[in-house]
Chains A and B, each alone.
Chain A
Amino acid sequence: MHNRLRILRAERNWSQADLAQKLEVSRQSVNAIETGKYDPSLPLAFKLARLFDTTIEAIFTDQP
């Protein structure tokens, strides 16, 4: 699974810690999702989409 999390985060000038705080998860989790080590659950993916005011598909893709 590929994602645009780092780009979306950079556009808003948020650090991983900022995003982690908004999502109520650890920075470690944000880093794991960002680097593709971990695919989030649907509830967390929806939370991310809402936070970035976009759709899940706009953040996550199955192709690079």
Chain B
Amino acid sequence: MTCNPFLRNTSPAMRRYNAGVALTMGGYLLAVFGTATFVHRHHPHGITVYLLSAMPAFCIFAMLAVVVTYLRDEKDEYVRMLMVRSLLAAAFVVLAIGAYNDFLRSFGDLAPLPPFSQWVVFWIVFAIAQAIQYRNDATPRSTENA
């Protein structure tokens, strides 16, 4: 899920981004497993469920804040543009799948997508888009002086 799959860009904004993503992703995994375990064992209800659900959701909001902060702070306009393209590609695929699934559910009596699948699809498409763009940009070191 890192912004730069080949870690070639080491701008301060990118380093903060990578650290922020690692932190929020770690927090997210902890929150998900922690809250799931707690819910499984104690079967809470009422306000506790709302508070527990807010914990992993907060990590997702924080991850989005890390992305927004990166886009604000990145001085390299080309690298920033690549990331915006990848985010748009991810948003496009998620919205397209969501819309198609909504129609299937309306017309075909199909089950909804599993919970959190859109979030997972978003970051997978984002990573693929980044990898494709970076691969297309790849220039052999031997030709850089040409």
Q: Please, how many angstroms separate the alpha-carbon atoms of A31 and B50 in the complex?
A: 50
On whether the beta carbons of B78 and A28 are closer than 8 Å, the reply is: yes
Q: How many residues of A contact B (CB 8 A)?
A: 18
For residue B139, CB closer than 8 A to chain A, the reply is yes
CB distance from A33 to the nearest CB of B (A): 7
For residue A24, CB closer than 8 A to chain B, the reply is yes
For B75, the chain A residues whose CB sits under 8 A away are: 24-25
For B9, the chain A residues whose CB sits under 8 A away are: 26, 28
For residue B68, CB closer than 8 A to chain A, the reply is no
Q: Please, how many angstroms separate the alpha-carbon atoms of A16 and B8 in the complex?
A: 14
On chain B, which size bracket covers the interface? 10 to 19
Using CB atoms, name the residue of chain B closest to A13: B145
On whether the beta carbons of A26 and B78 are closer than 8 Å, the reply is: yes
Among A16, A40, A44, point to the contact of B144 (Cβ < 8 A). Answer: A16
For residue B111, CB closer than 8 A to chain A, the reply is no
On whether the beta carbons of A6 and B146 are closer than 8 Å, the reply is: yes
CB distance from A53 to the nearest CB of B (A): 21
Among B78, B144, B145, B146, point to the contact of A32 (Cβ < 8 A). Answer: B78
Q: Which of B56-112 contact A (CB under 8 A)?
A: 75-79, 81
On whether the beta carbons of B8 and A26 are closer than 8 Å, the reply is: yes
On whether the beta carbons of A15 and B79 are closer than 8 Å, the reply is: no
Residues of B within 8 A of A (CB): 8-9, 11, 75-79, 81, 134, 137, 139, 144-146
**25 pairs from A and B in contact (CB 8 Å cutoff):** A15-B144, A16-B144, A16-B145, A24-B75, A24-B76, A25-B76, A25-B79, A26-B8, A26-B11, A26-B78, A27-B139, A28-B9, A28-B78, A28-B79, A29-B76, A29-B77, A29-B79, A31-B139, A32-B78, A32-B137, A33-B78, A37-B137, A38-B81, A40-B77, A41-B77
